[in-house]
Amino acid sequence: MAWTRQVLRVNLSEGSCIPEPLNMDWANQYLGQRGLATRYLVEEIDPQCDALGPDNKLIMATGPLTGTMASTGGRYSVITKSPLTGTVACSNSGGFFGAELKNAGWDMIIFEGKAAEPMYLHIENDSAKLVPASDLWGKSCWETDEMLHARHQDPQMRVAVVGRSAEQGCLYSAVINDLHRAAGRSGVGTVMASKNLKAVTVRGTLGVGNIQDPARFMSAVNAGKKVLAENPVTGEGLPALGTQVLMNVINEVGAMPTRNMRESQFEGASKISGEAMLEPRESDGKANLTRNGGCFACTIACGRISTIDREHFSVKEKPQYWGNSGGLEYEAAWALGSDTGVDDLDALTYANFLCNEDGMDPISFGATVAAAMELFEEGVITTQHTDGVELKFGNAQALCWAAEQVATGTGFGADLHLGSRRLCEKYGRPELSMTVKGQEFPAYDPRGIQGMGLTYATSNRGACHLRSYTVSSEILGVPEKTDPLQTEGKAGLVKAFQDATAAVDSAGLCVFTTFAWTLDDIAPQIDAACDGDWSPERLVEVGERIWQLERDFNMKAGITGADDTLPQRLLKDAAKSGPAKGKVCELGDMLPEYYQLRGWTADGQLTAETRSKFGLPS
């Protein structure tokens, strides 16, 4: 069965914590985590509600394989309506919190209403209660985690928390668990803080003992682990260099967005790469990377644990920033580095530590700073706005200053809280915002990787690489090599990646497994763990049903086909260097075919036939 079949409904307005049975009809249609929680959200909120109002709901959800022996089976997601984009938000996190929640006997928690005063939810197996948290309000994620562990005297307890940025209304705040793992994108932490919910603590000792066929499950799990170990990406590249293995690769193919995407290659990429993280510093002879780390049940261990020079930018006054903590991953290194023109590895690591400590999405933060830097260089923003700081591309100290401002919401940080789109609109230059549906771009220039342009434009949560990582095919040749500069066949490729990824997310597995696994590797694990027939074909169907459900929610929220587009910079300004030199993203060549494959109208609306095919709620 794999599901615990238990949901915890927490009404923050009333102060109640009430268990209820999981809707198994929906579980069989949407599997778990991303899909199943979205089905609950669609049923229970008005898509046009205020994302930061009490009528919005926040759901923490596990998948059926979360908490099991399946490799990477430690994932959980936070699902809500996004304050950054107005779309459905689903942010996925690793670490150990999701597995602990599942081992406490819960498939998901639904938070509704708003507490009158700051609270946190404390769970010990089937016991759940809301606890006053006024003393925690105003504390960083790290401080809160330390205080809660001291209070409960249980080192095995897991904590998910929001920081000061969320309390101050930063629209891209994250939910941080295990100190440096994050449900990072779309402002899910902002929604959590808007409900006066500071943290969730959980201790689970029940285990996941309801596997349908344990012997067959372990056989499938062991076969899957063997595939991961023997694959050059999941068995070698990611353990050694983490996702930072991509920095030099993407730069060389001319798809490294640089200085607010004005350029597509960064001359300082090698200084902030995974390889650079292994090199001894001149100042103290120590490397940036201390070791790698893995999430619950993970056999890949792509996580980075880093240190920085304690003398760097007066960090000696803040010792928690130079000690071992979550290091740079590729997206953060790009957003804080290439996109801002900063090639100082210690400065990037420091800014990333601040994002972890106070719960900011480093992608949206870095991209917003990059937009601010272009506004500064255009003379729209001046030192009068920035307390005398020269907010120029390449200024490492300005980057660190900006991170400190956003963490606390002080000074110019209040403007940076808005995200790139609202910031550029405020200063009268909306064309300088590199966003889709209000969410900032990740680290791949769609002029150099055409499939990613269609991925960004059609993503249901705004610009996102993890909804359809065509980089696997277009750059790494997984599962087969396609030409990154060509558009032919990319509509089908994007759709296939989107549907498969939705199924993987909903299972409770990490999408990084798909560098090695196909659904043929995943389906046997789900089929042995869950009752019913879970074939690869059924998972594809589940994935597409989830995609259609998310699209339908967005349409009802006011998002239209006109929002399936990219900034004009990427559609009209050609790449200046690299293999993609002279090319723009040819979105118009791909989008009509994509709509047709999805069963949508020419303007991106779901047809009645498509709605009926997938049994979408009215």
Positive/negative CA dihedral, 280, 284, 288, 292: positive
By the 8 A CB rule, do 440 and 363 touch? yes
Residue pair 371/434 in contact (Cβ under 8 Å)? The answer is yes
Show the domains of the chain with their CATH numbers. 6-203 (3.60.9.10), 242-252+258-432 (1.10.569.10), 440-613 (1.10.599.10)
- Helix 214-230 vs helix 519-529: crossing angle, to nearest 10: 160
Cβ neighbours of 21 (radius 10 Å): 9
284 is written with which tokens? 């103290």
Q: What's the pTM?
A: 0.98
Alpha helices in 9-120 (DSSP H): 24-30, 33-44, 97-103
Q: Which of 368, 381, 379 is nearest to 434 (CA)?
A: 368
The closest of 93, 156, 91, 88 to 125, measured between CA atoms, is 156
pLDDT value at residue 212: 94
pLDDT, tens digit, 9 for 90 and up, residues 105-122: 999 999 999 999 999 999
Residue 303, strand partner residues: 293
Give me the half-sphere count of Cα atoms (radius 13 Å) on the Cβ side of residue 586: 16
pLDDT tens for residues 545-588?
Answer: 999 999 999 999 999 999 999 999 999 999 999 999 999 999 99
Q: Where are the alpha helices (H) located in 57-140, listed in sequence order?
A: 97-103
Q: How many CB atoms lie within 10 A of CB 311?
A: 12
SS3 string, 555-580, reads HHHCCCHHHCCCCHHHHHCCCCCCCC
pLDDT recorded at residue 209: 79
Calculate Rg over the CA atoms of the chain: 22
Instruction: Give the pair of three-digit tokens for residue 189.
Output: 């932490």
Cα-Cα-Cα-Cα dihedral sign, residues 290, 296, 297, 300: negative
DSSP strand E in 143-288: where? Answer: 158-161, 175-177, 181-183, 197-203
Q: How many CB atoms lie within 10 A of CB 565?
A: 18
pLDDT of residue 533: 95
DSSP code at position 311? T
What was the pLDDT predicted at 534? 97
Per-residue pLDDT at 316: 66
State the pLDDT at residue 283: 86
Q: Which residues of the chain have pLDDT under 70?
A: 316, 322
- Where does residue 531 rank: exposed (0-12), middle (13-18), buried (19+ CB within 10 A)? middle
Residues 536 and 311: their CA atoms lie apart, in Å, by 53
**DSSP H or E segment with residue 88:** strand 88-93
Task: Give, as one character, the DSSP assignment of residue 328.
Answer: -
> What is d(CA 428, CA 559) in angstroms, rounded to the nearest whole number?
23
State the Cα–Cα distance between residues 103 and 391, nearest whole angstrom.
47
Structure tokens belonging to residue 125: 């197996």
Whether the Cβ atoms of residue 361 and residue 173 lie closer than 8 Å to each other: yes
Element (H, E) at 119: strand 119-124
| Residue labelled with tokens 């979205």 | 38
What is the distance between the alpha carbons of residues 123 and 317, in angstroms, rounded to a whole number? 36
